[in-house]
Amino acid sequence: MDRKIALVTGAAGGIGTAICRRLVADGYRVAATDLDQAGLEALKADLGDGAVVYPADQTDEAAMVALVGKIEAELGPIEAFVNVTGWTHATRFETEDSAYWSKVVAINYMALLYTVQPVLKRMISRKRGAMVFIASDAGKVGTATEAVYAGAKGAVIAFAKSIARENARHTININCVAPGPTETPLYVAEEKENPEIIARMLKAIPFRRPAQPADQASAVSFLLSKDASYVTGQTLSVSGGLTMI
């Protein structure tokens, strides 16, 4: 039996890699895309035939429209879409410039729109599909030193709810996972650069530890599964109790 196709963006990062591994274990064949070509090659070596890699810049709208068409032509219908792409630094808003704001919004929000629309059009035509967007608890409660990132992730959450309402009639489920601090390469780099900020963050987590990427992958797996077929427009925090709303 042919495996269903899942498109994962930001696939070469820590959370993205864990999600790709989990989806392959769940029976999907993963179309993995990222700007990091070396990271994609490592992912391909890890997952073998379970993954097909597509280097791409997700902030390029035309490139993403073309890529979605290419994936469906080569692999088949995209049944599941997971947007993992994200980026930020820990800085205070008054020290930032508009070039930084534009980059944060482009990577964390506009890139999502550029990919969702061509995937969604195809899902609507087939009357089925599921999407999960990796948001952030920052988008739910705000985070000092991540103001613009929090704003962009808040936009992701509101966008997911809106298109979930629009497309439930097409049997398309759209949800978010909001990770708390997760031990990824970006987290490790931030810990070295700003250890005090990370230490304060961990003290606020009831479990007193960061999540592992596999914790986030488990939540994504559930939201793409038949067990979540009646769940849409929701944002599931996987944060060790950091937020409880």
CB 166 within 8 A of CB 122: no
Confidence (pLDDT) at 193: 84
User: Where on the phi/psi map is residue 54: left (φ > 0), alpha (ψ -120 to 50), or beta?
Assistant: beta
Domains annotated for the chain, with CATH where assigned, are 5-237 (3.40.50.720)
Confidence (pLDDT) at 189: 83
Confidence (pLDDT) at 1: 47
What's the rounded Cα separation, in Å, for the pair 7 and 131?
9
Q: Which residues contact 223 (CB under 8 A, 6 or more apart)?
A: 130, 132, 173, 175, 177, 231, 236
What's the rounded Cα separation, in Å, for the pair 233 and 231?
7
CB 12 within 8 A of CB 39: yes
Averaged pLDDT in 10-residue chunks for the chain of 245 residues: 90 96 98 97 97 98 98 98 94 96 98 98 98 96 93 98 98 96 84 86 91 97 98 97 88
| Number of C-beta neighbours around residue 113 at 10 A | 14
CA 60 to chain centroid, in Å, comes to 17
What's the rounded Cα separation, in Å, for the pair 86 and 101?
13
Residues noted as catalytic: 149
Confidence (pLDDT) at 201: 84
> pTM of the predicted model, to two decimals?
0.94
Q: Which residues contact 23 (CB under 8 A, 6 or more apart)?
A: 6, 8, 30, 80, 82, 217, 220, 221, 224
What's the rounded Cα separation, in Å, for the pair 31 and 53?
6
Confidence (pLDDT) at 245: 81
CB 22 within 8 A of CB 215: no
Confidence (pLDDT) at 187: 83
| Number of C-beta neighbours around residue 102 at 10 A | 12
